[in-house]
């Protein structure tokens, strides 16, 4: 269950309600486009309208990978890996890489194809030596350079290790149903293939095979994840701004941006397991809104860690910041602070208190300080860190992002600017045709 509090944004309900008609229009427009195969709004009804056959195929493939492999290499970049990583890091142990295989129970998920660093690739090659592994290569276009290079490298290692035939059975491809080099290659080689639906763009694709296969391999319950998203779909289906907290969040951040000069939004967590959720969120909002010289710059901080690095700026730097705080009500584990006879660290005043209690007080104190320092705060509270809540949060932000981009007057489903660096890079690399 997710709750949004706007009490610390400094925005009055009446100001938000001025957007009532605009929101109603955007809501109806999005819903009218949701089933159009040639549009990019397929994510809107995905939690209730997903391909059940593909979903069972994902579960079966995940079980096979779990049985055969210690490691799954997820090869993808941007929307083709961030969603999976966000969910996996939020819901599995922060120390899974140093857990024994027995303790972890499920394959270790590692990522490649999200950078061009030879150090990264070499170190991963070394780390998988002597370990059983499979590959899930994910690319909607099937032509993105970073994952294509990584796939070429790790496919060769897989083929040398297991032979061509077994290697084929350890490669899982997630790509477009018709187009792209990966689609052609997977047909030729007979790799098991999963589809990125036409009407779901990369950064909105975590609840398709793009995210679901790696997430399921990591031992996370994808039925519950989809159920969480379904709950959010139902909850935020009301076109009336007065009753829709997701739309209120979208409106309030736009008011802060356009009327109060708050051009940067920091997504704040007090739980390091949410670090990659923030990375996913940054891509979602950054690629959706940052165009036509407009858009709130999405950034992220992990508190209390970053209070000791970024806290000074947030409190007293240029007043262009707003914060959106993810508050997780119940921690999965808690730890009590015990008494110490010498009390040399002076911490005995906390005896009997839990670490979560201290974390929450840090959050309350920071919130008050930042709001007083003219950093408006939105609080999004989720009950706990589990599949259902994460599913809700994913849907909440996808919908808020689409609404927000429309309020801003940009198309939240394209990313024309991403091509610029590619063109220059290809020219410098002397790629034919550039
Ligand atoms: O959101 C997007 O569309 C992009 O970030 C893509 O996900 C990213 O560029 C990777 O593209 P592809 O899946 O085609 O390899």
Q: Any bridge partners for residue 298, and if so which?
A: 265
Backbone φ/ψ region at 77: left (φ over 0), alpha (ψ -120 to 50), beta: beta
| Ligand 1 atom having least distance to the Cα of 78 | 5
Calculate how far, in angstroms, residue 23's C-alpha sits from the geometric centre of ligand 1: 28
Residue 64 has what pLDDT?
A: 98
CA-nearest of 304, 260, 261, 302 to 281 is 302
Calculate how far, in angstroms, residue 328's C-alpha sits from the geometric centre of ligand 1: 30
CA 227 vs. chain centroid, Å, equals 17
CA 129 vs. chain centroid, Å, equals 29
Residue 373 has what pLDDT?
A: 98
Locate 233 and state its tokens.
């779909």
- Angle 403-409-412 from CA coordinates, rounded to 5°: 55
Farthest CA pair distance, the chain: 74
Cis peptide before 348 (omega within 30 of 0): no
Pocket test for ligand 1, best of 80, 144, 281, 286 (most atoms within 8 A of CB): 80
State yes or no: pLDDT of 24 exceeds 90.
yes
Q: In Å, what is the CA distance from 360 to each residue of 76, 303, 330, 385?
A: 36, 11, 10, 15
Of how many residues is the chain composed?
434
Looking at the annotation, which residues are catalytic?
Answer: 287, 308, 422
CA distance 233 to 230: 5
Report pLDDT digits (tens) over 216-230.
999 999 999 999 999
Calculate how far, in angstroms, residue 86's C-alpha sits from the geometric centre of ligand 1: 16
Calculate how far, in angstroms, residue 218's C-alpha sits from the geometric centre of ligand 1: 22
Average pLDDT, the chain: 97
Pocket test for ligand 1, best of 144, 402, 411, 419 (most atoms within 8 A of CB): 144
State yes or no: pLDDT of 101 exceeds 90.
no
Report residue 77: phi and psi, to 5°. -140, 155
**How large a percentage of the chain has pLDDT more than 70?**
100
Mean pLDDT throughout 82-97? 97
Which residue bears the tokens 């159009």? 36
Give, for 90, the enclosing helix (H) or strand (E): helix 82-91
Instruction: Find out whether 7 and 223 touch, Cβ atoms under 8 Å.
Output: no
pTM for the full predicted model: 0.98
Residue 288: CB atoms within 10 Å: 26
| Ligand 1 atom having least distance to the Cα of 79 | 7
State yes or no: pLDDT of 327 exceeds 90.
yes
CA-nearest of 161, 160, 135 to 148 is 135
Locate 315 and state its tokens.
């409190």
- Tell me the residue ranges of DSSP E strands in 331-433: 377-384
CA distance 266 to 247: 19
| Ligand 1 atom having least distance to the Cα of 196 | 13
Pick the residue whose CA is nearest to atom 5 on ligand 1.
78
Residues in the ligand 1 pocket, defined by CB under 6 Å: 77-80, 139-141, 144, 147, 201-203, 287, 415
Calculate how far, in angstroms, residue 269's C-alpha sits from the geometric centre of ligand 1: 26
Pocket test for ligand 1, best of 40, 77, 285 (most atoms within 8 A of CB): 77
CA 176 vs. chain centroid, Å, equals 20
Residue 75 has what pLDDT?
A: 98
Q: What is the dihedral of CA 285, 48, 1, 62, to 10 degrees?
A: -80
**SS3 call for 243:** helix
Pick the residue whose CA is nearest to atom 7 on ligand 1.
79
Q: In Å, what is the CA distance from 277 to each residue of 68, 206, 394?
A: 28, 11, 9
- Res. 419 pLDDT band, cuts 50 70 90: confident
CA distance 254 to 275: 24
Calculate how far, in angstroms, residue 80's C-alpha sits from the geometric centre of ligand 1: 6
């Amino acid at each position: 269950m997710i709750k949004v509090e706007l009490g610390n944004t400094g925005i009055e309900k009446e100001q938000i309600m001025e957007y009532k008609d605009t929101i109603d229009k955007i809501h109806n427009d999005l819903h009218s486009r949701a089933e159009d195969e040639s549009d990019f709004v397929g994510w809107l009804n995905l939690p209730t309208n997903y391909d059940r056959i593909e979903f069972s195929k994902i579960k079966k493939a995940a079980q096979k990978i779990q049985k055969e492999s210690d490691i799954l290499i997820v090869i993808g970049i941007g929307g083709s890996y961030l969603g999976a990583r966000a969910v996996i890091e939020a819901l599995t142990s922060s120390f899974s890489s140093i857990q024994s295989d027995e303790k972890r129970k499920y394959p270790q998920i590692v990522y490649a194809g999200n950078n061009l660093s030879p150090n990264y690739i070499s170190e991963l090659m070394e780390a998988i030596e002597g370990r059983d592994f499979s590959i899930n290569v994910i690319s909607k276009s099937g032509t993105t350079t970073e994952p294509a290079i990584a796939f070429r490298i790790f496919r060769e290692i897989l083929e040398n290790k297991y032979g061509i035939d077994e290697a084929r059975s350890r490669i899982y491809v997630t790509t477009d149903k018709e187009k792209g080099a990966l689609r052609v290659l997977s047909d030729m080689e007979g790799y098991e293939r999963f589809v990125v639906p036409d009407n779901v763009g990369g950064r909105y694709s975590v609840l398709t095979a793009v995210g679901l296969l790696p997430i399921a391999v990591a031992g996370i319950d994808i039925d519950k994840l989809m159920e969480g998203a379904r709950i959010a779909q139902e909850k935020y289906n009301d076109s009336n701004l007065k009753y829709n907290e997701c739309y209120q969040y979208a409106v309030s951040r736009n008011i802060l941006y356009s009327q109060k000069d708050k051009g940067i939004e920091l997504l704040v967590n007090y739980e390091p397991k949410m670090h990659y959720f923030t990375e996913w969120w940054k891509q979602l909002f950054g690629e959706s809104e940052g165009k036509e010289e407009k858009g709130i710059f999405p950034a992220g901080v992990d508190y209390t860690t970053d209070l000791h690095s970024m806290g000074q700026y947030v409190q007293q730097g240029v007043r262009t910041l707003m914060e959106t705080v993810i508050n997780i009500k119940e921690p999965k584990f808690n730890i009590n602070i015990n008494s110490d006879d010498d009390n040399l660290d002076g911490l005995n005043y906390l005896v009997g208190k839990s670490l979560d209690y201290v974390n929450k007080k840090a959050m309350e104190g920071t919130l008050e300080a930042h709001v007083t320092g003219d950093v408006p705060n939105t609080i999004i509270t989720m009950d706990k860190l589990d599949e259902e809540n994460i599913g809700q949060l994913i849907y909440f932000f996808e919908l808020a992002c689409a609404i927000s981009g429309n309020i801003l007057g940009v198309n939240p489903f394209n990313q024309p600017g991403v091509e610029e660096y590619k063109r220059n890079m290809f020219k410098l690399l002397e790629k034919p045709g550039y």
